[in-house]
Amino acid sequence: MFSDDNFSITEDQAIMRLAPNYNRALYSYIAPFLKGAVLEVGSGIGNFTEKIIEVDEVTSVTCFEIDASCCERFKENLSSFKNKSKVTLYEYNFNQSDLKERFDFAFSFNVLEHIEDDRTTIIKIVKYLKSEGWLFLYLPAMQCLYGSIDKELCHYRRYNKAMIRELFCGLPAQIVDMEYSNSIEALGWFYTNRILKRKSQSRGMVSFYDKYIFPAARASERYLPKFFGANLFVLARRKD
């Protein structure tokens, strides 16, 4: 599933555009909450921004992305987006932000692991939410899976539920739901990331996995135990 060619976050983002089933699954998590002002922390090259701004109930999408090459690709993609006037892109560290705007919904897909001071990130996101506003996080899970690809992508960590509870401790936000997912993928990730020690993802194999393996694995999730998985999703709500 992986290739050791030169790799970058931008390339990883481009490869993941070839995984429509995976992307639809992620989008399904946040679709019920998309309305009003939306905050996207770590927008990458705009893989999800493009779809979000097509939602009539969404009035604006404020995006943060620190990686310069991702920002350039994002702006190239943005030029072809419908409703692109809804988008504001900030090209700097979210932890250094000081926004006056408040948001109905905030989300982050596979980003928090790239941030050394993830506590400050969560503090700021919660601060920027309106009262009763929602936050969704999708994260790599299980430190035992941490390996060569995590290192190549500059991941500081993989998460578990206790780490998330600690991040939210003392904040005016309530964790409403938190669950591991992709338990079958965890086995494949361990093999490629820890045993084979691959460093990057192959376009062809990501496409193959998304088309033939991911749908079956996702369908089986309902029958599998929820105590482990390659990912962890978190749904929280601001409570003043």
113-134, pLDDT tens digit by residue? Answer: 999 999 999 999 999 999 999 9
Contact between residue 33 and residue 12 where contact means Cβ atoms under 8 Å apart: no
Instruction: Give the three-class secondary structure for 155.
Output: coil
Strand boundaries in the chain, DSSP class E: 36-41, 58-64, 87-90, 103-109, 129-140, 173-181, 231-238
213 half-sphere exposure, CB direction, 13 A CA radius: 14
Distance CA 25, CA 55 (A): 17
Name beta bridge partners: 177: 235
Distance CA 117, CA 185 (A): 27
In sequence order, which residues have a C-beta less than 8 Å from that of residue 156 and are 6 or more positions away?
113, 114, 115, 116, 118
pLDDT at 209 over 60: yes
Q: Give 201's DSSP letter.
A: B
Count of Cβ atoms closer than 10 Å to residue 45 Cβ: 26
pLDDT at 5 over 80: no
Sheet holding 58-64, edge to edge: 87-90, 58-64, 36-41, 103-109, 129-140, 231-238, 173-181
pLDDT at 207 over 60: yes
Distance CA 183, CA 124 (A): 31
Number of H helices, E strands in the chain: 10, 7
Name beta bridge partners: 180: 232
Q: Which domains does the chain have, with CATH numbers?
A: 9-238 (3.40.50.150)
Contact between residue 78 and residue 89 where contact means Cβ atoms under 8 Å apart: yes
- pLDDT for 86 equals 97
For the chain, what is the radius of gyration of the CA atoms?
A: 17
Least reliable range by pLDDT among 9-13, 16-20, 139-143, 151-155? 9-13
Q: Mean pLDDT, the chain, as a whole number?
A: 90
Closest CA to 138 of 227, 41, 39: 41
pLDDT at 2 over 60: no
Closest CA to 51 of 84, 22, 3, 89: 84
Contact between residue 39 and residue 106 where contact means Cβ atoms under 8 Å apart: yes
pLDDT at 6 over 70: no
11 half-sphere exposure, CB direction, 13 A CA radius: 14
Closest CA to 109 of 157, 161, 51, 47: 47
